[in-house]
Structure 1
Amino acid sequence: MGFSVSGSTVVILIGCLIAFSAAFTVATDSFDRITTAQDERADHLLDQQNTAIEINDVQRDNETVTVTVTNTDSTTLAIDRTDLLVDGEYRNETPTIRTGTNDELREGTNLWIPGDRLEYEIESNGDRVKIITQNGVVGSATLTEES
């Protein structure tokens, strides 16, 4: 009778040790994932705080709308992740990129560097324009008739 109690106690203790090691591994992995997600969220919020755009000019000439928008803060943005809406309708237009200092065209890149301007030319009769960046910063304007 003495060995069976001791043997079963050892089996239970080994089972508890294995269960604890499995639970510890899962808890550590979960904590690492939560920490990584919090770090990524903090990075995203910092990028959002360091992003600002300014719609410089919005004009309509007959049925062509011209929109000029400048990246005015310190975050470099991706052009293909910047959305253009005209009267709430998504427009898949490729803008012209002009450098901020000498107004020359820059081609073959997807980067919208601070100080650079995007110029969109769109066929539309819409009245409102909205530009949305990759991290949620929005600029909007109402169209004016060009004289």
Structure 2
Amino acid sequence: METIGYLKESGDRFEFHYDKLGLVIRGNYPEWVLAAASEIIQDTARLESQSRVEELSALVEFGEATEMDVDAHKVDMKFRFEVLPQCVVSMGAMDYRWASEEARRKVSAEFDGHALRRLHDMSLTRNNSFLQNEEGVEMSDGTA
């Protein structure tokens, strides 16, 4: 695995470094810095990808590339920029599904207003035992 970017705390601010672009973003909160990084990296990647289509189209005219090369790159662009962002998020031993805000609006019932949805449904039990009291376990706190 190769590190391509990193977030660090520097004094009372946070810095995100993304060496591929020579990008350094500084801000008061990590979520601000990562949001800025996400937008800048996405915009830059989209511009690079659009430039690649133009480059391949020019190469087709010179016989150095084929229309299939152009089409293949356009398909790659569609997968990257048309599909709404989604990720698996691990926190401790639990895995969650994250989807961008726009994606969550499209499947609002699945996320129920939350940014994450647990991947493993712990209520799925063999004997419908989820949240059932165990026999012999006293549940009162002693106050009446």
Structure 2 length-normalised TM: 0.26
Flag the structure with higher strand content: 1
State the TM-score, normalized to the length of structure 1.
Answer: 0.26
Report which structure shows greater RCO (CA 8 Å, sep ≥6): 1
Q: Which has the higher helix share?
A: 2
